Structure 1
């Protein structure tokens, strides 16, 4: 899956030890949305979804 430069920059803010897991989760969400490119908007949506404390078992 392709990532825009803006999305890559945001992704680098994730702690390095969480990145592999986060990348899989973000790319899976993008696929479910029918996206072929991960841009800043998709990244922000994924972050909001995975940081929602009401969703147990999600990436925090």
Structure 2
């Protein structure tokens, strides 16, 4: 996970990491910010595929 430059304050599930890796490389920084923002707003300590799906909906994808 370190090579993805994900923050250390939120735990990412293995499934979330796998789904994150499917995001095009050039879009990952913005996607990561949105995903982690959603998780923090919900006061979660873990990023799951559901959070990634929610971010995708908010991005309009």
| Short-chain TM bin | 0.7 to 0.9
Instruction: Name 2:52's counterpart in structure 1.
Output: 43
Q: After TM superposition, what 4+ stretches of structure 1 lie above 2 angstroms from structure 2?
A: none
Q: For structure 1, list consecutive stretches of 5 or more residues without a partner in the other structure.
A: 52-59
Larger radius of gyration: 1
Q: How many aligned residue pairs are there?
A: 52
Displacement after TM superposition at 1:27 (Å):
0.2
Instruction: Name 1:11's counterpart in structure 2.
Output: 20
Structure with greater helix percent: 2
Q: So what's the TM-score if we normalise by structure 2?
A: 0.75
RMSD: 1.2
Q: For structure 2, list consecutive stretches of 5 or more residues without a partner in the other structure.
A: 1-9
Q: So what's the TM-score if we normalise by structure 1?
A: 0.76
Pick one of 24, 40, 44 that aligns with 1:31. Answer: 40
